[in-house]
A and B are shown apart, each in its own frame.
Chain A
Amino acid sequence: MADFAADLLNWGFWIFLFVASYFVGTYREKAHLKSIVEREKRLLSLPALTLKFAEDRPVAKTELVMGSVVIGGDFFKQVVASLASVFGMRISVAEAMMDRARREAVLRMKEKAVGADAILNVRIEGLKIGERKKITGIEAMACGTAVYYSK
């Protein structure tokens, strides 16, 4: 009976963490996505392009702009990701996380380029933080050249 209670306590802790991290994680993800969509619409008029050359107009100023973000992988996502990795299936929890991170990084980059006419030669990178198979978090970084044309 004592063993049973100890097991229950031991495993109950992880099960509770799993369930709690699912609800908290889902809530946070939804809130973040909502804010991303809103800001993306607001910053739509500033193009972020992979083109390397500016338009044929006099350029007043260029500048390196960069935005980066780190998002933590919660316990629920880690468990689901490790399950998916057993079969080589699509890890949709990680897809959602990476997508959020990349979009957030681009947004931060755009927010950095105040008053620019365009951001050129944009590069986006992502990397995993955490030892071995563990996903403690992911980082996404976007950088490019902000171009200000002469008025």
Chain B
Amino acid sequence: MNFEPRYCEKNVNVQSNSHFGEFIRLTLWLLGIVFVIYLLLGYTAEKIAERLPPKFEAAIAGGITSKFGHSDFPRTQKYLQKVLDSLVSSAEGLPPFAYRVIIVDENIVNAVALPAGNIVVFKGLVSKLKNENEVAIILAHELGHYAHRDHLRGLGRGLVLVSIMTVLGVSGDLPGFISPSVQTFDLKHSRDRESAADRYAMDLFVRTYGHSGGTVEVFKVLAAQEQGGRRPELLSTHPDTLWRIQSLTDYLKLKKYPNGSILPLPKPGVLPFPNDQTVKAQ
């Protein structure tokens, strides 16, 4: 038996030396699969959430509600609650919840519809409002989300997104410059829902107050607020405010809603936002 030295130039054990190509291929695969899972599960979760009975929803919301036990701004909250109650009493198609409004001490110009009729209004928004009409249209807009069950759709999709991120080992929040692109896909949906809630709010306002005076102005306030840090429309949940004002004005003309008087805020100064704690101290 003879040993014949021979060198084999071809390496059968390593098929590819293009590691970067490999990385791109795997990333695309992963993103594709995650996207498909997100679509399927998100759709399912949305459909389930929409059909969630109010009783069950209230039980889930127990954890959220317990956090809002006390209020930092009792007088303002009482006033908002009064406006909300009068809206709810003339509303149609709302799920039977005990609707509550909670003011949260953060300088965000926004309001959120949480499960089981808990509406959160941030201090930043409250301090921008100048009359009762504006307060009412904001609250009516959030009621519109309950009437269309939008608050649950977001919940279902959010849950799926968080689950996928957990499975992939992405703990905590996505960085600020990635998360908008993750959510962009959902935003088109979201904007349609906001518009629907706007129209519902307008109908409800007219039903409660008998006219539509002072309602569009609140969106102008929001528009002015946005001038500082404008985001492109595709990246914002709420439709571009100018477009929103236009479509609401068109809607008012279409429905031939009468213009009416603007109700002042109650005196002395429940709004715009005096700090209840300093008032108490005096």
Contacts and interface: CB of A to CB of B under 8 A. Distances in A.
A80 B11 contact: no
Given A4-B176, A83-B26, A92-B22, A44 B15 contact: no
A84 B26 contact: yes
Nearest to B168: A86
B22 A93 contact: yes
Given A22-B19, A92-B22, A93-B22, A83 B30 contact: yes
B176 A99 contact: no
A95 B13 contact: yes
A8 B177 contact: yes
Interface residues of B, number: 24
Contacts of B16: 92
Contact of B19 (A3, A49, A80, A90): A80
A80 to B, nearest CB: 5
Interface string A1-43: 0011001101100000000001001100000000000001100
A77 interface: yes
B3 A118 contact: yes
A144 B17 CA distance: 30
A76 B175 contact: no
B175 to A, nearest CB: 4
Contacts of B13: 95, 98-99
A55 interface: yes
Interface string A99-140: 100000000000000000010000000000000000000000
B23 interface: yes
Nearest to B6: A44
Interface string B112-138: 000000000000000000000000000
B243 interface: no
Q: Which of B3, B30, B178 has the most CB of A within 10 A?
A: B3
Interface of A: 3-4, 7-8, 10-11, 22, 25-26, 40-41, 44-45, 47, 49, 55, 76-77, 79-80, 83-84, 86-87, 89-90, 92-93, 95-96, 98-99, 118
Interface of B: 1, 3, 5-7, 11, 13-17, 19-20, 22-23, 26-27, 29-30, 33, 175-178
Given A7-B176, A89-B26, A95-B13, 7 more contacts: A10-B175, A47-B3, A76-B23, A80-B23, A80-B26, A87-B29, A93-B19
